[in-house]
Structure 1
């Protein structure tokens, strides 16, 4: 794990094609432009490398004045992911809490996308 902005830290030609697997958990929706995250993940993976994702698409920058935000629906995202060279291994959705107090009357739930993609 490395602290810093994902693109700045990992979009590094020395790391291209060196990763067997990348796992993103409650993460991909933190991008200003999710396409940049997808491109970086694709470049980092070895051929036949796997990307495992779990989390919602809340898009943290949506509606923030002065911030750009590219927001794709799950269907749109999956079309782009296939178009840049990933094949489907697993694709499901799950209802889950992120952080909740079992004693509370208020609980937030997320509809999370879980998928495993292989880069070919």
Structure 2
């Protein structure tokens, strides 16, 4: 005979089975997420160690800027960018990768330095 009590017992067993299955699914998803987080951490650690040698040498920039300013201050007429580049490289031993970008940085830091024409720079005391 099938009564309410038997039906409730069967439903309780079904709930227990469902509960176990759902917990297993959650556990499985949690493991997958943790594994992916570990992978991301490892890749970011590798990228950080690769990026470490690319530190900016502030002293290098200051030396290069000082050399460029000194040639501009010594000469009273406009100086070609290529002349500034070769002078900076001779004085400091550091290569100027892009003279236009280099001089734009100097112009931002030192308003006395002005670009007259294409590739010509001058130091003007105010």
Alignment TM-score, normalising by the size of structure 2: 0.30
Larger of the two Rg values belongs to structure: 2
Alignment TM-score, normalising by the size of structure 1: 0.31
Higher RCO structure, 1 or 2 (CA under 8 Å, sep 6+): 1
Pick the structure with more helix per residue. 2
